């Protein structure tokens, strides 16, 4: 069964397709035409998976003009690798009629989308996300970019894909840590926007972790619907879309501090959301029971509820001060005020943040 979610953005609207085995000939042949120039952007591990483990993908590969392999890992998400990809496109004489196909997780999707946005002032690209995190979040909404040594995703653009194909078969090749990384983003959606979804997750989260098809598709579709609705209202993050960054200011600080190599994004988001929730609690926005439910759901699935032990409150402050949400030298953070509702809060005094982080690191949450 093929599920669809529409992202409504006027002449940039597109469809998210969800299902199992979407790259098989009988499901995808209508989307990839002979006269188009398709360049597949992926990494060696994923190329090996589709060539060695699933012969049904031969049709999909046959439609690609060429395959370009990116290096695998968040620490390769930089301008140097973008330049190498663009050099490849130029040397092979690809013009504005080319379409890049991003087959991979968030790193591949971000880098492919960013390259598409700047190559000859913009060419088309398609997202085929293969990790749970990219299926529920990173592949949707047109955020593209690369990291800088001073911060994550500080160089980028908004560039919407032509379409998104979410094939849950790819998830069976992932280690559990990658599944849990995606779970963090799923929980994020529920905390920000949907209390009933949070209640559902408390009861069914293990079915999603075990990749049970019905629960998994329901969960991914729910996240896609939430994000599509927000993007339609605020494509370039001027208002409501900022709320999707719950925990991310802290998470990006953690990833930058650890040089993009030690913490998976979702793991950093988990710790970041707990820090945001604890700050909200310390400011009187979030009550004890709501804070405990937020902490518990991350804890029971095995996600971290604290950042690196050696990372100080001043380390967080320094890195968060470079965050894209900072305006007029004032730190703005997304904070949950209850499960299903969040706000953007401007710090009146940075000591609020320092005190909350120090207290959070010393707290036994389950004594609340």
Q: Which of the residues 34, 80, 91, 121 is marked catalytic?
A: 121
Q: Which of the residues 77, 222, 227, 281 is marked catalytic?
A: 227
Residue 98 CB neighbour total at 10 angstroms = 21
Q: What is the DSSP string of 148-191?
A: ETTEEEEEEEE---SEEEEEGGGGGGS-HHHHHHHHHHHHHHHH
20: left (phi over 0), alpha (psi -120 to 50) or beta: beta
Task: Clarify whether 185 is annotated catalytic.
Answer: yes
Q: Which of the residues 27, 57, 77, 143 is marked catalytic?
A: 143
Q: How is residue 67 written in tokens?
A: 């395959």
Backbone angles phi, psi at 221, to 5 degrees: -65, -40
Q: How far apart are CA 302 and CA 298, in angstroms?
A: 7
Q: Which of the residues 245, 281, 290, 332 is marked catalytic?
A: 245
Q: How far apart are CA 330 and CA 321, in angstroms?
A: 8
Q: Which of the residues 237, 255, 290, 332 is marked catalytic?
A: 237
Q: How many residues does the chain have?
A: 368
Task: Clarify whether 121 is annotated catalytic.
Answer: yes
Distance of CA 210 to the CA centre of its chain: 20
Backbone angles phi, psi at 293, to 5 degrees: -65, -40
**Tokens 């911060």 found at:** 151
CA distances from 255 to 45, 136, 179, 216 (A): 23, 20, 18, 27
Q: Which of the residues 74, 185, 235, 255 is marked catalytic?
A: 185
Q: How is residue 8 written in tokens?
A: 């409504």
Burial class of residue 40 in the structure, from the number of CB atoms within 10 Å of its CB (0-12 exposed, 13-18 middle, 19+ buried): buried
Q: What is the DSSP string of 252-284?
A: HHHHHHTTTTSS-HHHHHHHHHHHHHHHHHHTT
Task: Clarify whether 299 is annotated catalytic.
Answer: no
Task: Clarify whether 227 is annotated catalytic.
Answer: yes
DSSP letter at 63? T
Q: Which of the residues 63, 221, 241, 341 is marked catalytic?
A: 241
Q: Maximum Cα–Cα distance for the chain, whole Å?
A: 64
Task: Clarify whether 281 is annotated catalytic.
Answer: no
Q: Which of the residues 27, 77, 152, 265 is marked catalytic?
A: 265
Task: Clarify whether 265 is annotated catalytic.
Answer: yes
Q: Which of the residues 77, 252, 281, 332 is marked catalytic?
A: 252
Give the E-state strand segments of 204-282 in sequence order. Answer: none
The closest alpha carbon to 132, from 81, 194, 79, 176, belongs to 176
Distance of CA 14 to the CA centre of its chain: 18
Q: Which of the residues 248, 255, 281, 332 is marked catalytic?
A: 248
Residues that are catalytic: 121, 143, 185, 227, 237, 241, 245, 248, 252, 265
């Amino acid at each position: 069964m093929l599920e669809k979610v529409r992202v409504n953005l006027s002449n940039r609207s597109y469809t998210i397709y969800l299902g199992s085995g979407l790259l098989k000939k009988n499901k995808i042949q209508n989307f990839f035409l002979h006269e188009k120039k398709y360049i597949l952007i992926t990494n060696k591990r994923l190329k090996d998976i589709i060539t060695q483990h699933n012969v049904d993908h031969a049709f999909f590969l046959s439609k690609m003009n060429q395959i370009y392999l990116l290096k695998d890992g968040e620490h390769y998400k930089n301008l140097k690798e973008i330049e190498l990809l663009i050099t490849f496109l130029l040397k092979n004489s690809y013009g504005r009629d080319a379409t890049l196909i991003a087959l991979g997780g968030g790193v591949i999707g971000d880098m492919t989308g960013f390259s598409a946005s700047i190559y000859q002032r913009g060419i088309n690209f398609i997202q085929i996300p293969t990790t749970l995190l990219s299926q529920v979040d990173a592949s949707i909404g047109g955020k593209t970019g690369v990291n800088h040594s001073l911060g994550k995703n500080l160089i980028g653009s908004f560039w919407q894909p032509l379409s998104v194909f979410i094939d849950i078969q790819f998830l069976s090749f992932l280690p559990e840590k990658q599944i849990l990384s995606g779970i963090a983003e799923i929980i994020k959606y529920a905390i920000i926007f949907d209390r009933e979804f949070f209640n559902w997750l408390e009861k069914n989260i293990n079915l999603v972790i075990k990749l049970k098809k019905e629960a998994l598709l329901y969960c991914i579709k729910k996240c896609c619907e939430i994000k599509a609705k927000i993007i339609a209202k605020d494509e370039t993050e001027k208002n409501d879309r900022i709320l999707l960054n719950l925990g991310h200011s802290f998470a990006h600080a953690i990833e930058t501090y650890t040089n993009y190599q030690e913490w998976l994004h979702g793991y950093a988001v988990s710790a970041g959301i707990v820090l945001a929730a604890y700050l909200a609690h310390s400011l009187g926005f979030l009550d004890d029971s709501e804070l405990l439910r937020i902490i518990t759901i991350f804890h029971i699935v095995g996600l971290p509820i604290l950042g690196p032990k050696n990372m100080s409150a001043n380390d967080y402050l320094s890195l968060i001060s470079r965050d894209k949400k900072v305006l007029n030298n004032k730190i703005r953070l997304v904070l949950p005020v209850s499960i299903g509702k969040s706000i953007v809060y401007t710090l009146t005094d940075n000591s609020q943040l320092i005190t909350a982080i120090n207290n959070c690191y010393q707290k036994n949450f389950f004594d609340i």
